[in-house]
Amino acid sequence: MKQFSSDKEAADALFQSVKNLNQEISKVIVGQDEVVRLVLTAVFSQGHCLLVGVPGLAKTLLIHTIASSLDLSFNRIQFTPDLMPSDIVGSETMDQNRNFQFVKGPVFSNIILADEINRTPPKTQAALLESMQEYSVTVAGHKYELPKPFFVLATQNPIEQEGTYPLPEAQLDRFMFNITLGYPSFEAEKQIVKNTTSGQKATVNKVLHSDEIMAFQALVRRVPVVDNVVDYAVKLVHKTRPNTEMAASVANQYLEWGAGPRASQHLIVGAKCNALLNGKYSPDIEDVQAVALPILRHRIVRNFKAEAEGISTEKIIQDLL
């Protein structure tokens, strides 16, 4: 890995690397620029992503493509109602000498695609809790460290609710971003159809290695932030908490619960990374606003009044901003 003489040089290298990544990803993924930007922001911020969208919007393909552009190990776990925790983290088996030996599960990888994560019961969903927060797995009293960098990129279908298990708040809170995928535009869909119905297949080249990604993650943490940006981020989170001293009127009216401290942390780290990805060396309030929606979307809980009046979570966050 190349050694940088200063953080400024490293920041410029990250900016260029992200341009190269976008170039490779765009060979396969068309018309999802905002989604790609947020997933890459999460990768360099050391966060996890939940991608929510109807079937056929290339959620799984998007994650596959991003994994292909990064020189990292990748495992896909298809979440089904009969999936057990040991199918994810691994289990102890007895060898021929009658000694117990731990066999690692698919979670021991750099990138985990948790496909349709809400199709498995809470018992199995909870198998990811320790992995996503502590980057380790505990089996039979022994703790096993996961390879770094480590990301969980999960997908979820918002339409079909039969045979699904909503993610508990503790699990949702571990995802840095909740990213909603919309339908592609007419022009984008034309391009998608042309690309996928011909005999040609695009080749995605590797752009970054694991040690480079970890160096850029450390760089993001070192980015300086002025106090007024931190104040703005923390005040924004406090505004979401109904019946508290700093609560906004829209929160008192339409929210049952507000966001926790993890939201404030993610807002600042996400703003730092967003600044670097746009060629800046320090974040401003616009960078906080750029990541606020996917960070707060799954951390605030609407009350009955909001649901009855059809007030969406997105509308409430826009009012808060």
Give pLDDT tens digits for 8-63.
888 888 888 888 888 888 888 877 888 888 999 999 999 999 988 887 777 778 88
Sequence-distant (6+) residues with CB within 8 A of 114 are 77, 79, 128, 152, 153, 154, 155
Q: What is the pLDDT of residue 268?
A: 94
Q: What is the pLDDT of residue 306?
A: 83
Given a cut of 70, whether residue 5 has pLDDT beyond it is: yes
Given a cut of 70, whether residue 2 has pLDDT beyond it is: no
Q: What is the pLDDT of residue 209?
A: 86
The three-state secondary structure class of 209 is strand
Q: Which residues pair with 152 in a beta bridge?
A: 112
Given a cut of 90, whether residue 264 has pLDDT beyond it is: yes
Over residues 113-123, mean pLDDT: 88
What is the secondary structure of 283-307 as a DSSP string? --HHHHHHHHHHHHTTT-EE-HHHH
Query: Which stretch of 138-142, 303-307, 308-312 has the lowest confidence by average pLDDT?
Result: 138-142
Contact at 8 Å (CB) between 27 and 62? no
Entry pTM: 0.88
Q: What is the pLDDT of residue 263?
A: 92
Q: What is the pLDDT of residue 291?
A: 92
Sequence letter at residue 170: A
Cβ atoms within 10 Å of 142's Cβ, excluding its own: 10
Given a cut of 90, whether residue 234 has pLDDT beyond it is: yes
Burial tier of 50 (Cβ tally within 10 Å: 0-12, 13-18, 19+): buried
Taking alpha carbons only, the member of 238, 236, 135, 129 closest to residue 173 is 129
Give pLDDT tens digits for 190-230.
888 887 787 777 788 888 888 889 989 999 999 999 999 99
Q: How far apart are the first and last CA of the chain?
A: 40
173: phi then psi, degrees, rounded to nearest 5? -65, -20
**Which one is predicted more confidently, 2 or 1?**
2
